[in-house]
Amino acid sequence: MFFVFTGPESSGKTTFANFAFSVFGGGLVPEYARQYLERQQGRYTFGDLKIMAENQYEFEEEQKLKYPYVWCDTDLITLFIWSLEKFNRVNPIIKRHLESKKESKRFYFLCRPDIPWEYDALRENPEDRDRLFELYLAFLEKIKVPYIVLQGSKEKKENTISEIFTRYLEGAL
């Protein structure tokens, strides 16, 4: 089972993926795009998104073999939306990998950007997070995957994560 934190930049994905991993264990897949972009000093092209997608996909597959559940700090949905936003097109590899993920059981935590923006040299959309949130929401609805919106205080978000994970352990997901 994959538990994926998704949503616009600076909405808490990394914070809550790390929280869940530290409390519940399992596997953890960091956002590969961040690692890649740090090495590239933030510069990238359309072709770089394919590299990011392939590595994100492989990291997920490795963790899936080791653990019964895995926490993901984003997944290919982020690369899909990012690619459309930045380049107005999506590499077929991203589409193919995303399509293959339909076979894996996933639950999404859509992080509402209801926290202050934190500057990061790799972030590009400080003024556009609400619109991007709506794109994520529409995408999750379109592909018909289970999700919940993480919103409110930090404690409320952590409680929501814990409640969902408890439902998973009880076999209710």
pLDDT for the residue 146: 93
pLDDT for the residue 151: 97
Query: Which CATH number does the domain housing residue 59 bear?
Result: 3.40.50.300
Kindly report the backbone phi and psi dihedral angles of residue 119, in degrees, each rounded to the nearest multiple of 5, phi listed first.
-65, 140
pLDDT for the residue 74: 92
| pLDDT lower than 50: segments of the chain | none
Whole-model pTM: value is 0.90
> Which contacts qualify for 159-163: CB closer than 8 Å, 24 or more apart?
160/109, 161/16, 161/19, 161/20, 161/109, 162/23
pLDDT for the residue 90: 93
Residue numbers of the domain that contains 49: 2-169
Number of folded domains that form the chain? 1
